[in-house]
Structure 1
Amino acid sequence: MNIDDIKQVLIVGSGNMGQQIGFQTAVSGYHVILYDMEQSLLDKAMDRIGKLAKNYIAGRRLNDQSAADALNRIRTTVDAEDAGKEADFVSESVPEDPDLKGRVFAQFNKICPVHTIFTTNTSSLIPSMFAQATGRPDRFAAFHFHDVRFNNIVDIMPHQGTSRETVELIKAFAERIGQVAIVLQKENFGYVFNAMLMELLKSAQSLAANDVAAVEDIDRAWMGVMHTMVGPFGLMDSIGIDTVWKVTDYWANVLKEPQAMANAAFLKKYVDQGNVGVKTGKGFYSYPDPAFGKPGFIEGK
């Protein structure tokens, strides 16, 4: 298969990243199917994709007509057979659990055509952890997006069994949808940027969990010294505290590290309250006008 053979793209998982990947793919002219297990999740996803389209228009990345055309290229379904039977390329964004991801890919391996390329948008796992479960390890790799609203960097991480042709095809697809691909030479937890980011977030969580400093002061320290527009807790709100907690909790249980367990417990309080960041309107900060975006935040005013 070559890049011109890709016509229909299946997005498995309609959460924040599934929405962004799906919309960016539709913007680039592809027909997109957004799959999830409940129609209510898909309805909520399409509402948020509509808001993402307005964000693109406001940023002059699209005009009204091109945004409408992109939205019309997205179809939703809760029927796995319907979702996968004509898919040429799959992007998966389900929770960060290797067993779950393996089961999802095994299901779609029975449905999708033989030529279909499988990719995972995992943030913290590596593809070899569930490559065999996909049923097509040679046509499988990690293809990881960041926040498409603000950047166009993607990571491509093959595992030892990924064919060279698959890597080249994913790279070509990335270019077709306006992304700049960072191709890893070997598997690495957290890719490149996320490996650095996770250490920052871990340090910030530890400072807060250990009552060294308040959330706002930790962000002020980072923003003031590094001259950034957002600090680590603002970043976690953007990523989704629930997502950050799942990753933190997973590794805490794997490594049995006391500090990681304390960090997971600190994050879990926000998850249990339903305050998981930008997508719920409240996390460490309240949205749409977070305190860190207001004049005088760094000065503590």
Structure 2
Amino acid sequence: MLAIVGIITVFAMIVGGFLLSGGELGLVLKALPFEMMIIGGAGFGSFLLSNDMSAVKHTGKDLGRIFKGPHWKEEDYRDLLCLMFELIKLARKNPVAIEEHIEAPAESTIFSKYPKILADKEAIALIADTMRSASMNYDDPHQVEEVLEKRIEAHIGHMSHSSHALQTVADALPALGIVAAVLGVIKTMGSIDQPPEILGRMIGSALVGTFLGVLLSYGLVGPFAAKIQSTQEADAHFYKLIREVLVANLHQHSPNICIEVGRQNTPAENRPRFSELEEAIKALKKEAA
């Protein structure tokens, strides 16, 4: 919702200011389709040129984040902590029984309680691979923490590709606007024998290209890239929380302490209250009893 308000504000202030200052909007609107074809089309072409199909699809999918915000919400962090509690408690109680859950998460009665988390392959792989390694006596907390850190960094780098790709396009748009303006000037020079009022309108149309390139870059595409990056950074906390809980588990803290470590490392805006999480864990214990 906030993103939509932002877009409306950008256009309302620019168009409103132009009209209030006595500007002629008709001249801009007449040139806009052709300038948009040159600038927008060239920008999209350069985007396709500099990325593979996987990155193009990833960027298209991430555009939805501009309006939806981060993928992981407060209830998802609570569910993650509950999931980790169940897994850690079972692993401590019966190391053999945990194997069926981490080897086939899709068929696990524990993982299936949390379908949104189960749908995230990276989150499930982080949990399953680390707990599997612990069962194979690869349980040095410092080594595991380092491995998890590198794995999460690589995943975040992959997630950030779409924001970087959009920012590259945003950086190119002002120059493409100049290209469109130069083409307009060339067109004007071809009609140099026309009266001044006609030449003035033609030059004005040419300058729409510069205006449009700068507007798209700093008013839309650049902010889109920044918004996607901020949501990706917010979602990265979800995977870092998994790391913190798993490392605490390797330090042989009690399941409750492991979960509290995770809760404390949850971003403030998504951190479940202690009493809320305690009630959720009590409900899990009653269900298991």
**Bin of the TM-score, shorter chain as denominator length:** under 0.3
The structure with the larger Rg is 2
- Greater relative contact order structure (CA < 8 Å, 6+ sep): 2
Task: Flag the structure with higher helix content.
Answer: 2
Task: Flag the structure with higher strand content.
Answer: 1
TM-score (norm 1): 0.22
